Structure 1
Amino acid sequence: MKFVDEATIDIAAGHGGAGCASFRREKFIPFGGPDGGDGGRGGSVYAVADRNLNTLIDYRYARRHEAKNGEPGRGSDCFGAAGEDITLRMPVGSIITDLETGRVLAELIEPDVPVLIAKGGDGGFGNLHFKSSTNRAPRQKTPGWPGEAFKVKLELRVLADVGLLGMPNAGKSTLIASVSNARPKIADYPFTTLHPNLGVVRVAPEKSFVVADIPGLIEGASEGAGLGHLFLRHLQRTRLLLHVVDLAPFDESVDPVAQAKAIVEELRKYDEALYQKPRWLVLNKLDMVPAEERAKRVKDFVKRYKWKGPVFEISALAREGLQPLIHAIWDHVAAQNNPPVAPPDPRFDSAPDDGGQAA
């Protein structure tokens, strides 16, 4: 299935039905009085996150979504039927934005929780509502209220705990394939990854986290080089970024340090908040470096890159060094899920010294 993470659609709630002006007319009842019913409310538009969907492709081709109008009121105290609501099912992590104002209408994080997007119009009043002791034959009625209508932009940002960041052919797809059940396309040429891939990493039977692999960045992405910043939005909800670096590039003239600095600069240009996220350095393809040169090459890279954060030395293809990385990631994710609880302040200790007796 083609991966689509953006779409623009029109949504419209139903209009309320008009009220009815009617009078009771029966034999031997000359003054039956008003009996016009109210109009039915228009149908509303809801959105719900569906964990079984992972793309917005359904909305790339179906651009118009309308709820039903409410039926008008009728005589004999008959109220109009309400219009039928419609529910739009979208992937978890979708953001719905009013295209005209830029206001975020909904952010679908919790699965199977309906969110109101466009409210249907209320039905109009029939003349039954205007009856009083001084107005016994009212002819007033009101039309139904219009339903809300928007032109909205749908944007998908995948939900993942960890995001992989790096140049094309740095080994990100091989890494996610080695630690999870994800099976992305892997080849020996750049830009084999054309859309984000998600993989669930199982640390233990009840311990797991989600990794997101996005297409590689290159220098000049902010100007549209390569795939540009098209998929960086999928890293904005992650808690940790793994900067994967190829320590054994095919072209010996390529400097991994310069590439790593270029990636970080592109990240900063795109979003300062994303740039400030926790980021770990993962030095990959060490199996292609002679064993006696590995320590020296790693030390030289860290020194020239001036990196002071966590560093992991791995070979995704040979599955070397992956277990320490996986367990460190789990510890980081678990710590954010369960932040440490501050000790109680002794100044607010409510236990009285006199056994609970009031002074």
Structure 2
Amino acid sequence: MSGMPGERVHRLRHSVEVAAPAGAVFALLADAARRPLYSPHVVHVERLDFDGVRERVRVWESAGGRIRSSLLVRVQHPHERRIEFALVGRGAPVESMSGEWTAEEGPGGRCVVTVRHEFTVAGDRDDVAAGEGLITGYNARAELESLRRIAESRAGVDELVLSFEESLRVYGPGELLYGFLYRAADWPGLLPHMRRLELTESSPGVQILDYDVQLPEADGAVRTEGAVRLCFPHAGRIVFKQTVPSGPVAAHAGEWSVLPDEHGVRVIAHHTVLLDEAAVRAALPASGRSATGTVSPSVLELARRRVRQAIGRTSLAILELAGQHAELSVRTSSVRTLPRREEATAGSLP
């Protein structure tokens, strides 16, 4: 990468050794849609186009305590296990940013994963460059460590990831449904498990949530959690990522969506969860642990089922409240008499 004449190019390099084949790690890196699961700082990724080699994605990420959005171009070189990337139109204070990911085969089925960054800053200011270097370096190290942990899991990534959705048919305006989902600060007092919720909208459509939930599956214990939500009102979507995962959950991201059709409105809660294999193993009694520390398929399936039930129960309760809010608002406004809402449905995605 080259900057403007007179600009200094700042370079960073971070690596980690992984006890897994380079091909397996490259497959993780190539799957941009799953990046929020293994990148602690990445909130959401939307692919704009992809021709099999070159792709454009919109990335929302946490950087220095704020959420920023970037357009990212990635070019994959599978035979070299290398991915080039460059940010498009970032603007001040970071004028340009590019780099590459590589997964290099090592002895004994191990590999070395490296990420390189090159960037320039507006005005070539040392303080701005130092700040961006700290943020980029912190995020790179966290992402590499997360990749290492996932790639080295004995269960395999596909066994640790589960995706599912809850849906509800509502006979009421989609705007009211979306409004209820958007105003999460109103949820305490309406949801029995929600003890406290503080919402900060750092910029239009970007919400930071800090909340306490009471967990019936944990003998009524109260746990503090957090999330980042990105709101797209014109599309009827709110995407989110949990920022304080705990227990057997290593990462949790998803989306609320409101879909009007000729029969009314369908509101959906979609979830994608990455299980923490080490946490699942640690929760086993000593008698249930194997000598190698491997988690059996039956134990992993039980953990998947429990996480699915706990998250599904909570999201379905929110959907039902949203539906009641929309239908009641219509009834009390005497716009029309609405038929009874259908039963809620829950199902796993293929």
TM-score bracket, normalised by the shorter chain, equals under 0.3
Flag the structure with higher helix content.
2
Using CA pairs under 8 Å that are at least 6 residues apart, name the structure with larger relative contact order, 1 or 2: 2
If you compute each CA radius of gyration, which structure gives the higher value, 1 or 2?
Answer: 1
After TM superposition, the score normalised by the length of structure 1 is 0.22
Flag the structure with higher strand content.
2
